[in-house]
C-alpha cells in the first residue's frame, strides 16, 4: 500500500476485456487471498464491480475528500485511457457518527477510501479487468479470472441461532423515551435501531449469498466490504447522492409498510401507505431537510410532487426523487457533507438526535446507517446509505435495522417494521428457533 506523499506517483492502469464473467462468483476466492475486498452491484442497472487489494488507502471523512481527491489527481500520473473511462476507481465507506466504540467494529476505520489493485467491472455493454500497479507487470490475467468465475458454487446450508434475547420491553422503553423527547419539542423525529446477534454454524460462501441477494433485491445497491477478518454486507434501497458530470440525483426514502400476500392486498397496502398521516409526516421531514440543505448548491432543483411506492421483497416504502445540476463550486463531497446523515437514519434536529441515540440504543452502529460507494476521475460518483445489513466477525452475525419515531408512533408497530427489515439478512440463512 502506497501513502500519498510529495513525490509524484506513477500508477499504471492496465485494462483488459473479460468475456462471460460473473463477478459475484469471484468473491469467495478473492476474499480468501486478500485482507480487503469491496463488492458492489445494482443488478437492475447491469452494474457489478469487485475491488481487490490496496495501492492507496486513506482514512478521511467525506468533509476532507475534496482536498484529498485533488491532491491525488495532482500526484498520480494516469494515462488517457483510465481518465476517459467511466468505471469506478476509488471505493470506500463512512461510519455513522457515534460516541460508542465497540470491538465489534474494530476491523473498520471510521472511514476508508482505497484505490485497489484490481477492479473487475461489468456494465450493460462490457466487462473489464482494470489492474492498477506501479509497474507494467500483470497481477492476474483475464483467462484466470474467467475460469474462476465459472467454478461451481459449493452449495451448503448455513444455520444461524440467536445468542441472546432481543426483548420487546427494552424496545418499548426506548420508544417511550423518544416520544417523551418529541412531546417536549426536543426532537421532531428520531430513528431508533435494533441489533440482533446470531451464532453461525457452517461456512458462509459470499458468492452464494450474493447470488441470492442480487436475485431477490435486483433494484437495490448490494454491497460487501471485507476488512481484515470482518465482513459487512447488505442490500440498500436508499440512494444518498449520485453524480454523473453535473447531473445530480438523490431521494427521500422514509415510511414503510409490509407487502401483501396477493396483488390486490399489496395494492391496498400501498394505497394505505400513501394516505397514512404518520408515515407521510415522517417522509416529509426528510424531504424538507434535503431541500433546505441542497437548494443552495443545486441548479434546476426538482422534487417530485408526490411520493411513489418502492416495492422490495417483503416491504414497501415511500420514495420521492430529487434531481438537478451541480453548481460550479460544488462537488459530491461538498454535497455529502451538507446532508449526511439525513433524518431518514438519525432524526431531526440532527445534532440532538445523534447525541441521544447512544443513550437509547447502547451499541455502536458502525457502518450501519453510514455510507458506502465509489467515485472516479470522470466526475461520477454513487453513494448509498448502508441499511438492510449485517456484520460477520468470527463465527457471529450481527444484523441491524431501524425505523423512524415521530409523534403518534406505536412501539409494537415499529418493532414489527424492524422485524421485516431484519429479514432481508436473516432470510439468507437457515434460522434455528
Confidence of residue 425 (pLDDT cuts 50, 70, 90): very high
Please tell me the distance from the alpha carbon of residue 126 to that of residue 10, in angstroms, as a whole number. 27
Question: What digits encode the pLDDT tens for the residues 67-82?
Answer: 777 766 666 665 555 4
- CB 210 within 8 Å of CB 33: no
Tell me which DSSP letter residue 2 carries.
Answer: B
Q: Average pLDDT of 231-236?
A: 98
Per-residue pLDDT tens digits for 10-19? 666 788 888 7
Asked if residue 95 is part of any domain, the answer here is no
pLDDT score, position 21: 80
pLDDT at 225: 98
**pTM exceeds 0.85:** yes
Does residue 224 belong to any structural domain of this protein? no
Confidence of residue 125 (pLDDT cuts 50, 70, 90): confident
The CA distances from residue 214 to 91, 221, 260, in Å, are 20, 9, 22
Residue 90 forms part of a structural domain: no
Mean pLDDT across 369-391: 93
Whether 65 is covered by a domain: the verdict is: no
Instruction: Report if residue 98 sits inside a domain.
Output: no
Question: What residues are paired with 373 via a beta bridge?
Answer: 92, 383
Runs of H (alpha helix) within 206-262: 206-216
Q: Is the pLDDT of residue 149 over 50?
A: no
Q: Give pLDDT, residue 6.
A: 46
Q: What is the pLDDT of residues 239-254, one digit of tens each?
A: 999 999 899 999 999 9
Assess contact for 212 and 205: CB atoms under 8 A: no
Number of domains in the chain: 1
User: In this structure, are strands 76-77 and 9-10 parallel, antiparallel, or unpaired?
Assistant: parallel
Going by C-beta distance under 8 Å and a sequence separation of 6 or more, which residues neighbour residue 128?
Answer: 15, 16, 17, 18, 85, 87, 119, 120, 121, 122
Express as a percent the part of the chain with pLDDT over 90.
Answer: 71
Beta pairing partners, 348:
189
Q: What is the mean pLDDT of residues 370-387?
A: 92
- By mean pLDDT, which of 142-156, 213-227, 375-389, 405-419 is the weakest? 142-156
Residue 287 lies in a domain: yes
pLDDT per residue as tens digits for the range 95-122: 999 999 999 999 999 999 998 999 999 9
SS (H, E, C) 147-216: HHHCCCCCCCCCEEEECCCCCHHHHHHHHHHHHHHHHCCCCCEEEEEEEEEEEEECCCCHHHHHHHHHHH
CATH classification of the domain holding 260: 3.60.120.10
Please choose, from the candidates 252, 245, 354, the residue with its C-alpha nearest in 3D space to the C-alpha of residue 294: 252
Domain annotation covers residue 9: no
Give the model's confidence band at 137: pLDDT under 50 very low, under 70 low, under 90 confident, else very high: low
Q: Which of 378, 348, 321, 305 is nearest to 85 (CA)?
A: 378
Report pLDDT digits (tens) over 169-179. 999 999 999 99
Q: What is the span of the domain harbouring residue 282?
A: 160-200+239-323+337-363+389-432
**200 pLDDT exceeds 60?**
yes
Q: Evaluate whether residue 290 is within a structural domain.
A: yes
Do the beta carbons of residue 386 and residue 223 sit within 8 Å? Answer: yes
pLDDT category of residue 360 using cuts at 50, 70 and 90: very high
Q: Is 350 exposed, middle or buried, given 0-12, 13-18 or 19+ CB atoms closer than 10 A?
A: middle
Amino acid at each position: 500500500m502506497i501513502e500519498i506523499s510529495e513525490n509524484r506517483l506513477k500508477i499504471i492502469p492496465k485494462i483488459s476485456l473479460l468475456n462471460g464473467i460473473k463477478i459475484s462468483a469471484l468473491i469467495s476466492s478473492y476474499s480468501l487471498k486478500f485482507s480487503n475486498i469491496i463488492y458492489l452491484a445494482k443488478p437492475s442497472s447491469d452494474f457489478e464491480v469487485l475491488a481487490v487489494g490496496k495501492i492507496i488507502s486513506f482514512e478521511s471523512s467525506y468533509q476532507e475528500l475534496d482536498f484529498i481527491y485533488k491532491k491525488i489527481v495532482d500526484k498520480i500520473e494516469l494515462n488517457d485511457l483510465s481518465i476517459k473511462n467511466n468505471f469506478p476507481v476509488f471505493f470506500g465507506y463512512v461510519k455513522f457518527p457515534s460516541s460508542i466504540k465497540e470491538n465489534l467494529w474494530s476491523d473498520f476505520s471510521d472511514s476508508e477510501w482505497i484505490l485497489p489493485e484490481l477492479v473487475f467491472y461489468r456494465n450493460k455493454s462490457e466487462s473489464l479487468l482494470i489492474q492498477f500497479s506501479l509497474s507494467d507487470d500483470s497481477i492476474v490475467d483475464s483467462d484466470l479470472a474467467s475460469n474462476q468465475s465459472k467454478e461451481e458454487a459449493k452449495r451448503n446450508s448455513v444455520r444461524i441461532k440467536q445468542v441472546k434475547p432481543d426483548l420487546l420491553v427494552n424496545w418499548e422503553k426506548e420508544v417511550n423515551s423518544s416520544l417523551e423527547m418529541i412531546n417536549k419539542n426536543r426532537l421532531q423525529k428520531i430513528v431508533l435501531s435494533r441489533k440482533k446477534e446470531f451464532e453461525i454454524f457452517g461456512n458462509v460462501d459470499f458468492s452464494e449469498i450474493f447470488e441470492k441477494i442480487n436475485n431477490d433485491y435486483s433494484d437495490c445497491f448490494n454491497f460487501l466490504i471485507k476488512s481484515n477478518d470482518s465482513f459487512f454486507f447488505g442490500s440498500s434501497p436508499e440512494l444518498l447522492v449520485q453524480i454523473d458530470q453535473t447531473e445530480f440525483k438523490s431521494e427521500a426514502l422514509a415510511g414503510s409498510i409490509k407487502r401483501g400476500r396477493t396483488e390486490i392486498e399489496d395494492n391496498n397496502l400501498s394505497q394505505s401507505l400513501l394516505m397514512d398521516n404518520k408515515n407521510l409526516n415522517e417522509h416529509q421531514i426528510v424531504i424538507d431537510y434535503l431541500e433546505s440543505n441542497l437548494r443552495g448548491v443545486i441548479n434546476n432543483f426538482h422534487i417530485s410532487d408526490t411520493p411513489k411506492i418502492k416495492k422490495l421483497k417483503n416491504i414497501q416504502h415511500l420514495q420521492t426523487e430529487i434531481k438537478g445540476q451541480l453548481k460550479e463550486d460544488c462537488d459530491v463531497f461538498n454535497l455529502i457533507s451538507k446532508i449526511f446523515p439525513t433524518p431518514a437514519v438519525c432524526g431531526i434536529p440532527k445534532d440532538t438526535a445523534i447525541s441521544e441515540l447512544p443513550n437509547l440504543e447502547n451499541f455502536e452502529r458502525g457502518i450501519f446507517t453510514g455510507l458506502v460507494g465509489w467515485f472516479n476521475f470522470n466526475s461520477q460518483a454513487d453513494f448509498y446509505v448502508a441499511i438492510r445489513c449485517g456484520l460477520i466477525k468470527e463465527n457471529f452475525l450481527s444484523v441491524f435495522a431501524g425505523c423512524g419515531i415521530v409523534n403518534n408512533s406505536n412501539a409494537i408497530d415499529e418493532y414489527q417494521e424492524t422485524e421485516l427489515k431484519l429479514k432481508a439478512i436473516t432470510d439468507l440463512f437457515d434460522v434455528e428457533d
